[in-house]
Structures are given as C-alpha cells and as structure tokens.
Chain A
Amino acid sequence: MSRRLSLSLPTKLDQLERIYEAVDELGESEEWPPGMVYQVKLVLEELGVNIVTHGHGGEPDHEFEIVMDTDADALTIELRDEGRAFNPLTDSPEPDVDSGLDDRPVGGLGIYLVRTMMDELSYRREDNTNILTIVKRKENG
C-alpha cells in the first residue's frame, strides 16, 4: 500500500499544528510505531521552524511545501522552500553533545536530531528553491 500526503503551508509558526495533524493521520492509517510518529513530527517541526525563522527571517507571507510518500518499506519526505539557501548536511555545525553544563552551546541541536533520527538526507538547490529529501525506513521505527 502506498500513500501520498501533501501540505502547502504559510511561513508562520502557528502552522506547526497542521504538520502534527498530518503526521498523526498518516502514522495512524499506516500503524507506525509511536516512536516513528514522534520522530517524523520532530524532524518536520525542526526543519519547518528553521524555514520560517531563518530561511524567511520571520516573514509570514511565503509558503513552503511538504510531500510525504509512503510504501511498504519507507517514508520519503520532500521539503521545498524558497528561503535563503540552506543545506542541513553541510551548513549546520556538529553540536557539542559531550561538554559540561557551563560550556554547552545553546544551539545546533535541531539539525543534529534530524540527521540522527532519519536514515537518508539529500539536498539540492534548484531555481531559488531548497529541496530536501528525507528517507525514514520503517523497520527502524
């Protein structure tokens, strides 16, 4: 069985709710394990917040798109936005996850969580558009 779910969202933080609802619906209909539902929500939230606050600098009148495709083995997500060029594979530093409380930098964790929780990430920039493709294999739920 395969399914496709597409969302087109204004670049506003109050739209995160629609992402959670879409992931819940897809996860429920496909009986994903609870851990996978949580991880997919987190990954889309982290990337969505990044697009809204950094990619578009908080300007609310743009749009970004999320397309989720599932088959028996995997969930494939494509994220498109026309904000500032940003490659999460190279433009975000590895965060320091080992130092003590005082020396711990406050940022950088969001993209690190995305990279750790998903199985594949690939990025390209086409016609002023960031296109990020993410694969999450179901057995790693």
Chain B
Amino acid sequence: MEISVDRANEVLIAKVEGRIDGANAREFEDALNGAIGEDDSKVLLDFSTLSYISSAGLRVILLIARLLQKRNAAFALCSLSDPIREVFEISGFDKIISIHDSQAEAVDKIGR
C-alpha cells in the first residue's frame, strides 16, 4: 500500500495504491493522518489504483470521515472499481460518504 499526495483547487488528493487489509490497515491510518494537514479543509481519496479493501480499511475510512466532519472539512472518494464499490454499498458507506466516478468530477464538486 502506498499513498501519494497532490493538491488541486484547494483539495488535498491522496491517491492510494495497492491493497488495504487487516495486516496493513494501521499503516494506512497512520499514512493518511500524516498526509492530511491541519489546514486541509477538502480531502479526496482517489481509489483508481486501489486493488483491494476490506472491513479493516473501511474502519479507517470511517474514522477519517468522522474526524474531518468534526472540523467541518469536506471529504469524498473517487474512482472505485466495481468490486470495491460493492463493498462500500453492502456496508452502507455510500450513504454516509460521497463517492464520485472520477477525480475531475470530485474536485469539481468539493473544490473551490
């Protein structure tokens, strides 16, 4: 699992590559917390190169979403593969976190 960070229209874009599972979810949590600065008010996770996520990763997403909501920061996900989207839908996470088809669409929605 690797995270690379970019910024566009005041949106912090964290692109996650590889796999998030029970063995590395803690590492994912630490990496995200490290990537999101205190001044970031708009955060987007780009999952276009994420190959796998399970409940251990969902737990981290939920914690980050809550943290950002407390700060009144915007939070969204984009570019989920079909199996990953299914995991979010079964878990009901698509009802509490905004999910976009592409990075451009997401930045347009939550960006400045």
Contacts and interface: CB of A to CB of B under 8 A. Distances in A.
Interface of A: 13-14, 16, 20, 34-35, 38-39, 41-42, 45-46, 48-49, 53, 95, 97-98, 100-102, 104, 106-107, 109-110, 112-113, 116-117
Given A97-B90, A101-B62, 6 more contacts: A42-B52, A46-B55, A101-B69, A107-B59, A110-B55, A117-B90
Given A35-B83, A104-B62, A16 B21 contact: yes
Contact of A49 (B22, B82, B97): B22
Contact of A109 (B22, B69, B86, B91): B91
A38 B63 contact: no
Chain B interface helix/strand/loop/mixed = helix
B54 A106 contact: no
Contacts of B21: 16, 45, 49
A37 to B, nearest CB: 8
B23 A113 contact: no
19 contacts: A13-B23, A41-B52, A45-B54, A46-B54, A49-B56, A53-B22, A95-B91, A97-B91, A101-B65, A101-B96, A101-B97, A106-B63, A109-B55, A109-B91, A110-B56, A113-B87, A113-B91, A116-B90, A117-B90
Interface residues of B, number: 25
Interface in B1-42: 19, 21-23
B95 to A, nearest CB: 7
A98 B59 contact: no
Given A35-B86, A45-B21, A116-B90, A110 B54 contact: yes
A61 B86 CA distance: 35
Interface string B50-67: 001011101100110110
A79 B56 CA distance: 20
B15 to A, nearest CB: 20
A68 to B, nearest CB: 18
Given A109-B55, A113-B54, A39 B91 contact: no
Nearest to A106: B59
A113 B92 CA distance: 11
B42 to A, nearest CB: 17
Contacts of B97: 101
Contacts of B91: 95, 97, 109, 112-113
